[in-house]
Structure 1
């Protein structure tokens, strides 16, 4: 049973969609939604660092996900990003996966994966796909459309002003270290209903699941940290996800370029099939696409 929970945890974490960040400010304090919208200038952006941990039932953390990257803005919102994602299991979680899927299945699964999203296309290098690329190619361009915000694990996307306004509509927050602190709960269904057009709609999954969130903003109203806790299921088959994202360098110069064309191969042009674990890995990739 434990082995099944271990793999279920992996698949579920991967499928977790990303939503959007808080917004709604009071008259006396900066409006986070407007503060974020004012950042949408060509050639400017922000940096993100993120740590997320998953646990099954009463067990301690079984997987830790780490992401670091940058988002480039344009006048409509995020237009490109580059990032690195890594997943580290506990020894027990790794053993459970090996027992479930076989040691060969894990080849590259825990290697760092670099990603570049430009013009709604995801380019990936390393990770589980590193071993399937032909000689002379170091980047795989996926055929599934991607968004510039597809680089973190955070289920609440702070770059969608519509979501921010919805999250903060009934909260004035409290003063905190030169900025403000907000907190509340939201369901994925609510996030889907309020998601704006900056990132597209949120994937339809776990609609009833409640997300407890905490948001810290700086003196200008810009998000500096978002922390969330989400539990899915009950009892021994429950899963809990804790995600902490930090935002720095708002307004800094960010220009994301696609990989060199001669180093890229399209998914459909691969000489063989992608690994049979493509589906769960794509969902893992969608950890970064949850925005």
Structure 2
């Protein structure tokens, strides 16, 4: 006996309807597929909005008050824009912002140049490129806590391999190679660690951009007798540029929030040489307990990053439309 497909579908639908309460079944029959999809994802969206929006609104409220987290029962008074004025007029905070800008600029520059260079080499598909790709990706797979402690031991002047390498190349005694204790070298020590850890991330994005370029474009360029250098600057770089800019955007946002790596390596020292904005924010909130002022500082950082990211995304969209 042959059973048609339509009868099987009808029986399955009847079984689902019988297992579902009549009121729910009737309600679902009257909904479109789009409405049913929204019905299923609405709880998740509401939860995510509650987790993200409520803390933001609460921080905005606290930024206009004199609230202190170590005195939760004290009377909370509104102070208007006083917290914002104090933050914007504080030279220590401006110094922290300058230090953050230094890290963001140099880490992005080095990671973009080295990451794109590695992606370009791996895209050549030389022998064993898969193994080398896996090895290069190892730093990105590690936890920041592991990376911070690992490099702190490498930077140790007495037992660290970095000190021995510098001493071997320059003849400087290992006791004088104070990467984390020297005011002029400590910022660069953090730049080196962050570049070592996150260059593979930039490499992956750039590699995706290079792999998306059709081969026939290079074939046409070879027919026109374009040199390899001409192909690189006229085809490879322009077509991979949106991916490069996307990697810069992601790393710029992340590096602006840099905290764990600096705390593990230097704690903001020596002095305040490596004290980035996130460390200053933490000290304002949990050491000085100036919660209202810390919230104002957090809002200023949020607006700055959000504004710069929006401007950058518009530029990225213009590049993609070319």
Query: Whose Rg is larger?
Result: 2
If asked which structure has higher relative contact order (CA below 8 Å, sep 6+), I would say 1
TM range (shorter): under 0.3
TM-score, reference length from structure 2: 0.24
TM-score of the superposition, structure 1-length normalised? Answer: 0.26
Write 1 or 2 for the structure with the bigger share of strand: 1
